[in-house]
A = this chain, B = another copy of it.
């Protein structure tokens, strides 16, 4: 049920698992999320080649980092789910080498460079934010293993296991079920497959009783089975608890 837990701040929820934040830290985080913006699906928050003007924070919905090849083929390189932030130091670069865009309708906040610096000046907050960035990097590496060395159903299973862990810490899961506002084309561009093959692999996984996926909601019916299929080891997410 609790798809968007009212009154909670997903960034605060996530960072709390990384460090024991002070009251001032929490207040600062809440202030920072004041300047929010609502964006429809498939909108670029920042395009490739643009000069970065701050750091985006996703509060609601799914966004992604992606690149397009000249032929128009897309590769999604990361998901930004609620509580996820762009690169802390991005303003050190003069141009974005990739784009960030929404996959679903999103609520996002833009943090000015000075705001980010203010957050980083607080020791515990800085540690939590840096640790979060390390997890993002680890996730990117895991995606490379996924695309480079796993079969189609294994890739999909791994992605679904990862999202369960990531969405759970921000309170966006209901047992082993969560909203997944992505099309099969989005999943294809994430896993380096075609949408046709995603469709067929999903059907196999449904027939195997592993998952149920309809109306943008994923329910994992057999989590141990899915974990085994994916060889999923959640240690790269550095979650406080287990999976």
Binding site for B on A (CB under 8 A): 49, 65, 67, 69-70, 73-75, 77-78, 87, 89-90, 92-95, 97-98, 127, 130-131, 133-134, 137-138, 140-145, 147-150, 191-192, 231, 235-236, 238
A192 nearest in chain B by CB position: B148
- Residue from A134, A142, A144, A236 whose CB has the most chain B CB atoms within 10 Å: A144
CB neighbours of A238 from chain B (8 A): 93-94, 97
Q: How far is the CA of A235 from the CA of B127 in the complex (A)?
A: 30
Whether A134 contacts B90 by the Cβ 8 Å rule is yes
How distant is the Cα of A77 from the Cα of B140 in the complex, in angstroms? 9
Residues of chain B contacted by A98 (CB below 8 angstroms)? 138, 141, 236
Q: In the bound complex, do residue B141 and residue A77 qualify as a contact, i.e. CB atoms below 8 Å apart? A: yes
Q: Choose among B92, B131, B149, B231 the residue that contacts A75 (Cβ–Cβ < 8 A).
A: B149
Decide yes or no: A87 and B144 within 8 Å by CB, A92-B127, A93-B238, A95-B235 being known contacts. Answer: no
Question: Judging by beta carbons under 8 Å apart, are A144 and B90 in contact?
Answer: no
Contact between B192 and A149, CB atoms less than 8 A apart: yes
Bound form: Cα–Cα A198–B191 in Å: 22
Give A94 Cβ to nearest chain B Cβ, in Å.
8
- Is there contact, CB below 8 Å, between B97 and A149? no
**Shortest distance in angstroms between A80's beta carbon and chain B's nearest beta carbon?**
13
Asked if A141 and B67 sit within 8 Å, CB to CB, the answer is: yes
Q: Which residues of B lie under 8 Å from residue A78 when comparing CB positions?
A: 141
Contact across chains for A138 and B97 when beta carbons are under 8 A apart: yes
Give the shortest distance, in Å, between A188 (CB) and chain B (any CB): 10
A194 CB, min distance to chain B CBs, angstroms: 11
